[in-house]
Homo-oligomer: A and B are copies of this chain.
Amino acid sequence: MNEKPRSATTKDRLVAAAYELFEERGFDATTAEDIARRAGVGRTTFFRAFGSKDDVIFPEHDQLLGRIDERLAAATPATRALALSEATRVVLRHYLDEGELARARYRLVGSVPALRARETGGIQQYQRLFARWLREWMSDLPDGHLRADLLAADLVTAHNYVLRRWLRGQTSDPESEFDQAMRVALERYQPSGLEPSSAVVVLRTSATPAAIQAQLQPLLDSEEP
């Protein structure tokens, strides 16, 4: 009852045709009919597959938002900092996996103001999702809601900082730059007034040593890689 492979193929052909034409003649000079024709389908089919011309460039945000939400929902109070970092990493990995497609989108969005607005709208959705969880987690701190909004903005900004460096080809190791960026961003996440280098870990005494090790390892890895 999901999508059939044939349907995915049609969408993929449309995306490929769109990127080709956008790079050939620019976004504004390309009509929806041009894209449809090159993909070998009718104009109607194009608008059925993508609600608008912009949507060809920005697909599947909803899916990413869902994965972030899942990751944050699974966090325990002791692992929240890690969950924030990992949820953000989900987005980074998505773009890294896209490879050249992500770079083509970056070039395109950078040259078309209308698409820029659309992209920042998508980014804002991530930020609001993070803020929703963080407000819940930090609501009893002084200025908790404000600090939650700030941390959400920092996470998204740190992500974009690393992503854009990678998109521009300014880094060959985005993952470790991302680790460092997350460390800086998460300086804001200090539930109590502890030293930045300390950590609070809560473990069930009934847990096996192996389980404890499994939970601790990623925390330690993210501290000193």
Which A positions have Cβ atoms within 8 angstroms of B?
113, 116-118, 120-121, 123-124, 143, 145-147, 149-150, 152-154, 156-158, 160-161, 180-181, 184-185, 188
Listed by A's residue number, 23 A-B pairs whose Cβ atoms lie within 8 Å are A113-B121, A116-B124, A117-B121, A120-B120, A120-B121, A120-B123, A143-B180, A145-B161, A146-B158, A146-B181, A146-B184, A149-B157, A149-B158, A149-B160, A149-B161, A150-B157, A150-B184, A150-B185, A152-B157, A153-B153, A153-B154, A153-B156, A188-B188
Task: Collect the chain B residues with CB atoms within 8 Å of residue A145's CB.
Answer: 161
Q: B residues within 8 A CB of A181?
A: 143, 146
Which residue of B147, B152, B154, B184 is within 8 Å of A143 (Cβ)? B184
**A104 vs chain B, min Cβ distance (A):** 21
Q: In angstroms, how far is the closest chain B Cβ from the Cβ of A111?
A: 15
User: Considering only CB atoms, which chain B residue lies closest to A157 in the complex?
Assistant: B153
CA distance A123 to B120 in the complex (A): 10
Q: Which residue of B lies closest to A164 (CB)?
A: B149
Interface centre among A116, A118, A153, by most B CB within 10 Å? A153
Q: Determine whether the beta carbon of A154 is less than 8 Å from that of B150.
A: yes
Q: Which of B117, B120, B124, B154 contacts A154 (CB 8 A)?
A: B154
